Amino acid sequence: MLGFAAIAQNPLPPDRAFRFSARMVDARTVEARFSIADGYYLYRDKIHFAAEPAAAGLSVPDLPKGAVKDDPFFGHVETYRGAVVVNLALKDAKPGQQVVIAAESQGCADIGICYPPTVQRVTVPIPEGSIVPTPANEAPKKSWF
Amino acid sequence: MSIRFRKLSRRRRTLIFGFAGGLALAAGAGLALWDRHPRDAHDLLALSLPDTHGSQQPLRQWQGKVLVVNFWATWCGPCREEMPEFVRAQRDFGREGLQVVGIAIDQPDKVTSFAKELELNYPALIATYETMDLTKPLGDRLLGLPFTVILDRKGRVVHTQLGPMKPAQLRTIIRNLL
């Protein structure tokens, strides 16, 4: 576990403090994960996802609830520590296609540093020969991108 | 004779390459030192940014004063927590020649609202993330906030800090420069 003093001397760059990964868990579902280093936290309302190409039809569910913090200026804010995992749907991805998941996040370190929003990209291969089910009747959440 | 010439030539070549390599190393070392110890804030002072009313404010207008430039944002909790100390410093040392300038990486309406709430007594300028790039050679390699640069009356960088400044530390630096 990294100590407070160690972070103060050498804070991690945002893509290491909030490491993003993504993997296909079935033919149309991507498990998106932020692994958050000790001493760092992400803001729930600053996390946004997009798929490239957009035609892959990304659908983002509500993000899991975070720890509630009462901010004197913004009021009720939610933060994540440790890890946050979201299952994203790719409704229109084609078998064999390479889809890039772009994840934007913004967070801070306990030592009193906040990072600007950072975008991390991971390419996920849609399995060859996979049968993509008919998209469910769900309203996709509007992407920030 | 020809063998001696080739030997000399080889020595010369070694010398030339060695000299060139030495020069490159020295230049590299010089650049690295420059990065770690910037002597002035030319790019910072060359900035001209809009305030919350949309009026352009060149930073050079405050040259000759002890200048505390604080990069902040409303979405940065530690920045907001630190700012009352800058308000107190401006109130206490403003007449002696201190000028605090806040550069907000934020939306003007949010900056206006927070400035009003805090009764900000120094200019709040509005900038974009791209503006933060000029803080890299000043030591903010991660482009984190808050980031504070303190300049003496001659525009030389005296102190830079990523993360909140301790009140006593801020006051000591300011007093030594006034």
pLDDT value for A129: 66
Higher pLDDT, B26 or B164: B164
Say what the pTM is: 0.76
pLDDT value for A5: 60
Contact flag A73-B117 (C-beta cutoff 8 Å): yes
CATH number (domain holding residue A93): 2.60.40.1250
B77 close contact with A: CB closer than 8 A = yes
Q: Is it the case that residue B24 has pLDDT exceeding 70?
A: no
Name residue B111's beta-bridge partners: none
Mean pLDDT is lowest, of A133-142, B11-20, B120-129, B134-143, for A133-142
A142 belongs to a structural domain = no
CA dist B142 and A47 (Å) reads 19
A contact test, residue of B142, B143, B148 with most A CBs within 10 A? B142
As a whole number, mean pLDDT of residues A58-77 equals 89
A136 belongs to a structural domain = no
B79 close contact with A: CB closer than 8 A = yes
Query: How many other β-carbons are positioned within 10 Å of the β-carbon of residue A12?
Result: 18
> Regarding the domain with residue range B42-177, which homologous superfamily does it belong to in the CATH classification?
Glutaredoxin (3.40.30.10)
A133 belongs to a structural domain = no
A138 belongs to a structural domain = no
Closest by CA to B46, choosing from B108, B134, B125, B123, is: B134
Long-range contact set of residues B48-55: C-beta below 8 Å, sequence gap at least 24: B49/B103, B49/B125, B49/B126, B49/B127, B49/B131, B50/B108, B50/B125, B50/B126, B51/B123, B51/B124, B51/B125, B51/B126, B52/B108, B52/B111, B52/B112, B52/B115, B52/B124, B52/B126, B54/B108
Q: Is it the case that residue B27 has pLDDT exceeding 50?
A: no
Q: Is it the case that residue B9 has pLDDT exceeding 60?
A: no
Q: A51 lies in which domain range?
A: 4-125
